[in-house]
């Protein structure tokens, strides 16, 4: 006997870094989800993009942009005590496992519930820095500027809903949502997956490890779809991403050259955060600012991002909390080393959002009036799903009456 078939399901499947180019190249789920469109991303990394998906706002509105930023002063830095570790030899200090363990210990001590990683930030620089995602952005009250997320709308709708826990593995998250679908206990679901992002950082967009990860994910979504179609009358699956992925074609060693070639001193003249694809600077004096601008203008691997460009991207923070000067690398160039990675990484994101490899995707089997053209508009589709009248259910019972 077949299961119940009177309810609606809207499942929103977040696939970190599933760019539009990858969707096209691999024909990702083109049979199950035939309505496929590119979706503009937001400038920055997942730390900027994901809050935009959850709130429908741009970074300058929700307040999130990048993990690290300059602390208001040294005593305000949550990492003030870590400067003492600055004497540790780089190899020891940069050891991946030591860093991860220390990150976990620190997050606990500081009572951070958000995604926290020290990455490769030198211990000597940490006391000048602060951290953005202190609270879990998926939990109530987690957005810096206090914006409501889609989940508060879902909660208010009184429809049964579920979202994955990003702390857990993809396997665990998929198993949980599968269980919910099997029990027909939800009408709205947000499935979080990040495995493809990790695979592409490691193998690039064309590596065997990546095509295996894509095949596996496709099969998992197909299986969910098949089960949902047996359990629900009206199944809408929506797959989307936060940004794409670019293969690394060149590297820049500007970070280790910086002080030698400019004569500037970290903490005395300036503070900087060297993300994987951009460097953000704050200056203590005019000389340092002019010197840095002159130096950056000579570099061939990237460019200084103008204020009006930042404003156009929705990343113009009036208080310059994420930097007074942004230097962005050209697509495919990676800082090696940077504060985020000490070594070469095969795939990266966080370049100009207009670049073809930066574009995110929107894939659905639902007939919608319009597609979200940018990732912050996915919020509207998710909110609308919770307002959807239970049309399918009433039509089913009506037609049953007519036939009988």
User: At which residue do the structure tokens 């894939």 appear?
Assistant: 363
Shortest Cβ distance from residue 337 to Zn ion (Å)?
17
- Tokens read off for 289: 């600012």
Helix (H) and strand (E) counts for the chain? 14, 16
**DSSP bridge pairs for 270:** 266, 283
Shortest Cβ distance from residue 273 to Zn ion (Å)?
17
Rounded Cα distance between 328 and 277, Å, is 6
Q: In residues, how long is the chain?
A: 404
Rounded Cα distance between 61 and 341, Å, is 29
Q: Which is nearer to Zn ion, 36 or 346 (CB)?
A: 346
Q: Which is nearer to Zn ion, 197 or 275 (CB)?
A: 197
Rounded Cα distance between 134 and 383, Å, is 26
Shortest Cβ distance from residue 332 to Zn ion (Å)?
15
Here's the x/- map for Zn ion, 165-204, by CB under 5 A: it reads as: --------------------------------x-------
Name residues contacting Zn ion, limited to 356-395 (CB under 5 A): none
Shortest Cβ distance from residue 101 to Zn ion (Å)?
22
Rounded Cα distance between 323 and 315, Å, is 11
- 148 secondary structure, DSSP code: P
Rounded Cα distance between 30 and 131, Å, is 40
Is residue 269 involved in binding Zn ion (CB under 5 A)?
no
Q: Which is nearer to Zn ion, 210 or 386 (CB)?
A: 210
Shortest Cβ distance from residue 128 to Zn ion (Å)?
25
Q: Which is nearer to Zn ion, 16 or 376 (CB)?
A: 16
Q: Which residue is nearest to Zn ion (CB)?
A: 197
Q: Which is nearer to Zn ion, 239 or 385 (CB)?
A: 239
Q: Which is nearer to Zn ion, 180 or 201 (CB)?
A: 201
**DSSP bridge pairs for 35:** 364
Provide the binding-site residues for Zn ion, judged by CB under 5 A: 197
């Amino acid at each position: 006997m077949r299961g119940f078939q009177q309810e609606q399901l809207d499942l929103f499947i977040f696939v970190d870094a599933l760019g539009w180019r990858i969707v096209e190249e691999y024909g990702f789920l083109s049979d199950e989800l035939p309505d496929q469109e590119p979706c503009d991303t937001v400038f920055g990394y997942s730390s900027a993009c994901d809050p935009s998906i959850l709130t429908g706002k741009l970074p300058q509105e929700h307040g999130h942009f990048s993990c690290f930023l300059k602390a208001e002063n040294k005593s305000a830095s949550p990492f003030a005590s870590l400067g003492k570790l600055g004497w540790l030899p780089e190899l020891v200090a940069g050891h991946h496992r030591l860093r991860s363990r220390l990150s976990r210990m620190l997050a606990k001590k500081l009572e951070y519930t958000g995604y926290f990683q020290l990455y490769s930030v030198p211990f000597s620089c940490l006391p000048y820095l602060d951290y953005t995602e202190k609270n879990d952005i998926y939990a109530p009250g987690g957005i810096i500027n206090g914006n409501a997320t889609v989940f508060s709308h879902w909660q208010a709708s009184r429809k049964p809903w579920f979202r994955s826990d990003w702390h857990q593995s993809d396997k665990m998250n998929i198993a949980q949502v599968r269980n919910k679908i099997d029990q027909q206990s939800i009408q709205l679901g947000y499935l979080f997956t990040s495995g493809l992002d990790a695979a592409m950082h490691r193998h690039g967009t064309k590596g065997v490890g990546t095509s295996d990860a894509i095949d596996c994910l496709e099969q998992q979504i197909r299986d969910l779809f098949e089960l949902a179609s047996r359990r629900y009358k009206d199944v809408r699956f929506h797959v989307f991403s936060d940004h794409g992925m670019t293969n690394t074609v060149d590297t820049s060693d500007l970070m280790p050259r910086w002080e030698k070639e400019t004569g500037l001193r970290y903490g005395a003249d300036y503070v900087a955060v060297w993300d994987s694809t951009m460097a953000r600077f704050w200056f203590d004096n005019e000389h340092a600012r002019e010197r840095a601008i002159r130096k950056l203008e000579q570099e061939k691997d990237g460019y200084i991002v103008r204020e009006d460009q930042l404003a156009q991207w929705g990343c113009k923070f009036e208080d310059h909390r994420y930097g007074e000067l942004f230097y962005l690398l050209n697509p495919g160039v990676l800082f090696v080393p940077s504060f985020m990675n000490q070594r070469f990484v095969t795939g990266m994101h966080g370049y100009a959002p207009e670049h073809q490899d930066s574009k995110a995707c929107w894939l659905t089997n639902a007939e919608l009036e319009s597609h979200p053209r940018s990732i912050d508009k996915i919020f509207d589709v998710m909110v609308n799903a919770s307002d959807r009248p239970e049309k399918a259910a009433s039509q089913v019972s009506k037609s049953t009456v007519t036939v009988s």
